[in-house]
Amino acid sequence: MGNFLKKNWFVAIVAALLLGVSIFYIYDTNKGKLRGKSVNGEDVVFSVAEQDVTTSAFYDELYESGGSTLLASLIEKTVLDQSIETTEEMREEASAQAPVIRQNYMYQYSNQYESVLGDQLIQMGYSGIDDLEQALIDQMKLVTLQSDYAKEHFDELQIRNVSYILVQFSEDSEKTETPNEDEQKRMDAVDAAFAKGDDFATVATNHSEDPSTAPTGGVLGTIDNNTTSLDQAFLDGALALKEGEVSDWIYSSNFGFFKIKNNASTYDSLEAFVKAQEASTEELEESIIVNPIEDLVTQYDTTLLAKALWEKAEALGIDFHGDAELEERIKTLFGVLEESE
Amino acid sequence: MKRLVKVFVLLCFIPVLVGCKDASAQLKDANTTLITVGNTNITKGQLYQTMRSLSGETTAVNKAIEIIAEKEVEANEDLETEAKEYLKSMDEMFGGSYLSLIGMEEEEFLNDYILKLKEDELVKKYISESYNVLVSTYSPVRATVLSFTTEEDANGALSALKDGSMTPTEVVKEFDSTSTGNPELITINTTSYDAEATALVRSNSKDDGWAKVATATGDRFYVIRVEENDAEALREEFSESMLNNSTIREQSTAHYLSKYQFHIYDIDILNDLKTNNPTYVIQQ
C-alpha cells in the first residue's frame, strides 16, 4: 500500500481532496433541509410532548373532519373523467372564463385571492389553483351529466315548459280563495282576452302582473316535479296539466291567482317550443334560454346532480372493497342510501 | 491505478446521488384502494394528499394542543358534569334527538366535549401563569363610563352622582345618555370610548370618585368613576374576558407548543405553518 501511494501520490491527494469536497457538499446541501423521522417503519408527521404522531394516526384525524366529503368530490371527478368527453369547446370556454374568475376573486380577496381560490379548489378535490381551468371544464361536464340524466328520466320527472299569467292580490285584499271585486275584474279581463281569440303569450304580455315574465309572453321556463322553489299551488297546478292545456284560475295564498299553460311536456315538443320561441324573439321584449334542459338543471332543479352522479357511478361500476361503513357514508352523502337498501 | 480511477469517478458522482430533499411524511399504505369507480382507483394516498393540503396545518396544531391539554389538565368531575349538562341542554333544544342529528354516540360526544373544555382550561392556565404580564399589557380597570353629547347634561349628571341623589342608571335616563350606567371592564382593547375617557379611567383611582372629561373636539363629554383597578381583585373578571380573546388564545397555543417542543417532520405542513402562523413554528 505504501509503495502504491508513493508511486501515485498525486492521484491519492486529488482523491482525498475530492472526498473532502464531497463530504462538505453533502453536509452543506443537507444542513438547511427538514429531516424526517420514522417510528416502527412509519413516517412521523409531528411530535409534541414526547409523543410521535404518525401518518396513519394523522390520516385518521384528517378523515374525521371531512374526509368522506372529499372522497365524494374525488368520486365526482372520477365519474366525470370517465363518462363525459372533454371537448375543444369546453377547453376554449374554460380558458376564456378562468381569467375572469381570477379577477373576481382578486377584487374580493385582494392579495389573498390565490390562497382562497386554491383552498376552494382543493376542497373540490383538485390540487390547487393550477387546476382552475380543469375545474371549469368539470362544471360544464356536470351540467351535461345532469342534462343527460334529466332526458333519460324525462317522464318520471314530469319535465315541462310552462307559461303563466298572474293576477296579484289587490292592496286591500283579504287574500282568500274568493277574489274581491277588483281582483275579479282583472281576472275577467284576462278571460275576455282569451275569449276574443288572443293566444296565451299575447294575453300574458298584456295582462300578467309579474314583470319578470310578462315581457316573454309569460314563459317561466322548464321545470319538473323537484322545482320546490316554486309556490306549491303553482307547481301542483302546472304538473297536473297535459301538454297544450291551460288551467283554470289557481289560487295561491302567496301571490294571487294564476293561469298556467303547459307549453310542452315531451322532449321533442320542448325542443320545438324553444326553437319557435327563438324564432319569434324579435316579437318579444326579451330573449329566451336556448337549451331548456340546461335551463332546468341549472336553475329549477338542482337536486339531480347527486342522483345523476350516482347513477353514472353505478353504471361504470363502483366498488368499496368491502368497507361497508364507507359505503354507507358515501351513499348518505349522495342521498341514495334508502334507494339502495 | 484502475481502481483509483474508479474510486475517483465514483467520488465525482456522490454529490449528485446525495441530493437530499426536505422530508415529506408519507402514508405507509398509500396505495391501498378505498374506492374503485370504473377503471380508476381512488387510493388512500390520494385522499391523504388532498386532506393534508386542505387542513394539514390546522389539524396538526389542533391535535398537538389536544395532546398537551391531556397532559396539563387533569380530568375531573366538574368537566364531566359540565359536558353532561351541555348535552342535556342541546337535547332539550332539539327535542331529544341532538345526538342522532349530529351522528354521534353519547360517550363519543362527551369525550369530545370534555376535550374542548380541557383546551379552554389550558388557556385559563396560560392566563393564570401570565397574569402579571397580561395586566401590564392590557391595563384592566373596572369603571362606570357615562357618555353625553352636551356639557350641560354631563354637568347635571356629575352633580347628581356626586351628591348621591341619583344612581348611574337613573342618571343616564335623566340626562339623555345612551350608556347603560353599569360598570364594565375597560382594557387597552376597549374602543367604544374616546381616548380622553379611557386615559382618565387609567389615570384615576377609586378615591377620585366621579370625574368629568371632554373630548378634544368638544363634541362628547364623559363622566367616569373607577370602581376597581387592583389586578388581583380583577383577576376572575379579567381572566374570563381574556379567555375568548383570539390574540391570547394564539399566544397560549404558541406558549404550550414551545413548552412541549412541537416539531414538524413534513415540509408542506411546516411551510403552511410558517406562512399562516409563524409563532407556532418552534423548530429552527
Contact A15 B11 (CB under 8 A): yes
pLDDT digits (tens, 9 = 90+) for A83-120: 999 999 999 999 999 999 999 999 999 988 998 999 88
Q: How far is B112 from chain A (nearest CA, A)?
A: 12
Task: Write down the pLDDT at residue B54.
Answer: 86
Q: Which of A29, A45, A65 faces B20 most closely, judged by CB atoms?
A: A29
SS3 B204: coil
For residue B10, is pLDDT > 80? no
Q: How far is B199 from chain A (nearest CA, A)?
A: 36
Q: Which three cell numbers stand for residue A308?
A: 345523476
Contact B47 A11 (CB under 8 A): no
Contact A55 B48 (CB under 8 A): yes
Task: Write down the pLDDT at residue B105.
Answer: 82
| Mean per-residue pLDDT, A21-36 | 78
Q: How far is A336 from chain B (nearest CA, A)?
A: 16
Under the banding of pLDDT at 50, 70 and 90, the label for residue A234 is very high
For residue A285, is pLDDT > 50? no
Contact A321 B36 (CB under 8 A): yes
Contact A320 B68 (CB under 8 A): no
pLDDT digits (tens, 9 = 90+) for B158-175: 999 999 999 999 999 999
For residue A322, is pLDDT > 90? yes
Which of B240, B197, B205 has the alpha carbon at shortest distance from B222? B197
Under the banding of pLDDT at 50, 70 and 90, the label for residue B8 is low
Number of Cβ pairs < 8 A linking chain A and chain B: 187
Q: How far is A41 from chain B (nearest CA, A)?
A: 8
B263 chain-A contacts, CB cut-off 8 A: 46-48
Cα dihedral sign for A207, A208, A212, A214? Answer: negative
Q: Which of A48, A65, A317 faces B261 most closely, judged by CB atoms?
A: A48
Task: Write down the pLDDT at residue B115.
Answer: 84
Residue window 163-192, chain B: list those with CB within 8 Å of chain A: none
| Mean per-residue pLDDT, A173-189 | 95
Q: Does B101 touch chain A (CB under 8 A)?
A: no
Contact B37 A62 (CB under 8 A): no
Under the banding of pLDDT at 50, 70 and 90, the label for residue B17 is low
For residue A144, is pLDDT > 50? yes
Interface test with A, best of B3, B16, B35, B280 (most A CBs within 10 A): B35
User: Chain B: residue nearest A125 by CA?
Assistant: B50
Interface test with B, best of A30, A45, A60 (most B CBs within 10 A): A45
Contact B67 A51 (CB under 8 A): yes
Query: CA A70, A72, A73 angle in degrees (round to 5)?
Result: 65
Cα dihedral sign for A149, A151, A153, A154? Answer: positive
* CA Rg value for chain B: 30
A42 chain-B contacts, CB cut-off 8 A: 28
Q: Does B21 touch chain A (CB under 8 A)?
A: yes
Q: How far is B279 from chain A (nearest CA, A)?
A: 16
Strands (E), chain B: 33-37, 40-43, 141-148, 184-186, 211-214, 221-228, 263-264
A46 chain-B contacts, CB cut-off 8 A: 60, 63-64, 262-266, 269
A330 chain-B contacts, CB cut-off 8 A: 35
* CA Rg value for chain A: 32
Q: Please enumerate, as own/partner, the contacts of B252-256 that have beta carbons within 8 Å and a separation of 24 or more.
A: B252/B122, B252/B123, B252/B126, B252/B127, B253/B61, B253/B65, B253/B280, B254/B279, B254/B280, B255/B126, B255/B130, B256/B65, B256/B68, B256/B72, B256/B122, B256/B126
Buried b (16+ CB within 10 A) or exposed e, A28-55: eeeeeebebbeeeebbbbbbbbebbbbb
**Average pLDDT score over chain A:** 90
Which is more confidently placed, A224 or B96? A224
Q: Which of B1, B35, B266 faces A318 most closely, judged by CB atoms?
A: B35
The residue type found at B201 is: V
pLDDT digits (tens, 9 = 90+) for A47-61: 999 999 999 999 999
Contact B52 A62 (CB under 8 A): yes
For residue B248, is pLDDT > 60? yes
Q: Please state, in angstroms and as integers, the Cα–Cα distance from residue B199 to each residue in A197, B188, B229, following that order.
A: 82, 10, 13
B60 chain-A contacts, CB cut-off 8 A: 45-46, 53, 58
Task: Write down the pLDDT at residue B18.
Answer: 52
Beta-bridge partners for B228: B142
Q: Which three cell numbers stand for residue A288?
A: 329566451
Task: Write down the pLDDT at residue B47.
Answer: 93
| Mean per-residue pLDDT, A290-315 | 90
Q: In this structure, are residues A55 and B26 in contact, taking their beta carbons and an 8 Å threshold?
A: yes
For residue B155, is pLDDT > 90? yes
Q: Does B268 touch chain A (CB under 8 A)?
A: no
Which is more confidently placed, B21 or B71? B71
Q: Can you tell me the distance from the alpha carbon of B211 to that of B162, in angstroms, rounded to the nearest whole number? A: 9
